[in-house]
Homo-oligomer: A and B are copies of this chain.
Amino acid sequence: MCRNGISKATLSRIPVYLELLRSLPEERYEHISATSIARKLSLGEVQVRKDLASISGAGKPKLGYVTAELIENLENCLGSDNLTSAVLVGAGKLGKALLDYDEFEKFGIRIAAAFDSNNKVLNINSRISIQPIDKFENICRNNDIKLGIITVGAGSAQAVCDKMVECGIVGILNFAPCNLNVPAGVILKNENIALSLAHLNNQISK
């Protein structure tokens, strides 16, 4: 199941469900109910029931879910049995911070390669090598990359975005503070950190 448009809120709880389920002794938890999961995690039962129904269908009456199946469905949902590769362009401070961020794998994603047009920053990151931008197309096509992260400045973001689209990327997370144009069929998501803080400021100033 899953993979078809579950909400961001549900998605955010999947690593939490997985952590719990994987920690349970197998012999005592062949089955587990949404109620029991909700209680162990101090979450609302209605919420857990809805989350699990969207990911793994309805559990069996009285028994709940087969734990092993539920784990499998949750994992499939994240794709964490098979990590999705993403690429990042722009190895400035924010780009490098993202390369060091170790939360992506929990959500089934790994940054497979990073690129920068500035030769001075190449290969200085400890975990993921930073490559010259002219290798971008080859690496994307050879690895069938579908997911891209833009961490360049506003001035070059559209050019990077166009390049990503040209190379077959269909999902782009943009950190550059500007609007980008993408053709139909490509999903663009703008991540504006200043905006999040401004919105919070607006809420506390009420």
Contact = CB atoms under 8 A, between A and B. Distances in A.
Interface of A: 3-6, 8, 11-12, 77-79, 84, 86, 92-94, 96-98, 100-101, 103-104, 106-109, 146-147, 149, 170-173, 177, 187, 189, 191-206
A198 to B, nearest CB: 4
Contacts of A92: 97
For the complex of A and B, list the 8 residue pairs with the smallest distance between their C-beta atoms, beginning with the closest: A107-B198, A103-B194, A93-B97, A171-B204, A94-B97, A97-B97, A171-B200, A8-B199
Nearest to A191: B196
Nearest to A78: B198
22 contacts: A3-B206, A4-B206, A5-B203, A11-B199, A12-B192, A78-B198, A79-B201, A93-B97, A93-B100, A94-B101, A98-B193, A103-B194, A108-B201, A109-B194, A109-B201, A147-B200, A147-B201, A147-B204, A173-B200, A189-B196, A189-B199, A191-B196
Contacts of A206: 3-5
Given A79-B205, A94-B97, A147 B8 contact: no
Nearest to A95: B97
A43 to B, nearest CB: 10
Contacts of A84: 201, 205
Given A96-B93, A204-B147, A101 B199 contact: no
B191 A193 contact: yes
A200 B3 CA distance: 11
B103 A192 contact: yes
Nearest to A100: B93
Contacts of A198: 11, 78, 104, 107-109
Nearest to A188: B200
A130 to B, nearest CB: 14
